[in-house]
Structure 1
């Protein structure tokens, strides 16, 4: 299967879950590390209807290397991939992360929940803090904020009043981590049991 088809299939999955409403959200896969190049979903398209051709190759700054218009957040995808070493980055607009960031703007703390294993963390006795950064339109500013709060053992970031970014070695691992994050955040929101 092609990278473009993988991106289209994953986007359709998230769109069906209501996490990529309208044309929101974007996904990326690292194509090369030296120099850094990524395939990013194209801008302005319904993520439930992407084809294998609906992606754009970008450089380490999120600038297009060929035809098409990449997502406006391509620069942040590239920064996350460069700093974390991730092979794929997923950005969705699921509601739970946005609500959690509103409630805990200094970072969302999670502990003593079995689903933390999905992040490669311990289910008990391991405090996990998901960083929250303010929203903005300058991807360099957002990238700097991400880098300041980055922890190698926490593969997620919430942009306040916007959405979440989760990354992994590939799209599948990123998806599993995102599903775990959404479950964890729904749990603490619905129970009022933040760490």
Structure 2
């Protein structure tokens, strides 16, 4: 199971590296491999994301700590936030990349990035017209427990009044997107990046 998750994440990492979103060793991707207890396969720290192999993942627990004591590799520093998002939202895939327009958007609109009247909003579960969608922005912090608390402050599950947005920007850092599986997480990531790129370009 871990090898299959590693192969899937290596494919995704090559795709996003090709877009320039995972330069050098930046960014990290995860897939849930078990829910009870929560376990995730997360890309290992310090590796070029364009050259990952199926073995380049680390198993982490619900706190983002290494779950396999025999594995000497370090999980990504952001593993704790991956685990928190997976637990909080029910997502089975969480992707974090350093897309430039997400960083610019978070700098320009620290209170959240408002989007409306764009057909691509349908791709993240919203109306193309007559609805304002806000991509939340949180301030960066080196402690993932702090970032998890900030996530909880801006993330709201879908209600009639506040529909869910499956993405978030970390100011001065990058963006996260998630989904029920790797394909949905990929679509959410790519669609939100497009929406942010359009918004930055037309501001």
Same fold (TM over 0.5): yes
Residue in structure 2 matched with residue 130 of structure 1 by the alignment: 135
CA offsets 1:73-99 (integer angstroms, 9 cap, x no match)? 000000000000001000000001110
Q: Distance in 2 between matches of 1:113 and 1:25?
A: 28
Residue in structure 2 matched with residue 187 of structure 1 by the alignment: 198
Establish whether residue 164 from structure 1 lines up as the match of residue 175 from structure 2.
yes
Structure 1 vs Structure 2 CA RMSD? 0.9
CA offsets 1:7-56 (integer angstroms, 9 cap, x no match)? 10000111111000010000000111111110000000000000000000
Q: In the comparison of the two structures, how many residue pairs are matched?
A: 192
Establish whether residue 145 from structure 1 lines up as the match of residue 150 from structure 2.
yes
Residue in structure 1 matched with residue 49 of structure 2 by the alignment: 47
Establish whether residue 70 from structure 1 lines up as the match of residue 81 from structure 2.
no
What is the SS of the residue equivalent to 1:161?
coil
Residue in structure 2 matched with residue 35 of structure 1 by the alignment: 37
Q: Distance in 1 between matches of 2:75 and 2:8?
A: 17
Task: Give the TM-score of the pair, scaled to structure 2.
Answer: 0.93
Q: Distance in 2 between matches of 1:113 and 1:60?
A: 36
Runs of 4+ in 1 over 3 A off after TM superposition: none
Residue in structure 2 matched with residue 108 of structure 1 by the alignment: 113
Residue in structure 1 matched with residue 98 of structure 2 by the alignment: 93
Residue in structure 2 matched with residue 175 of structure 1 by the alignment: 186
Structure 2: gaps (5+ residues): 158-163
Residue in structure 2 matched with residue 23 of structure 1 by the alignment: 25
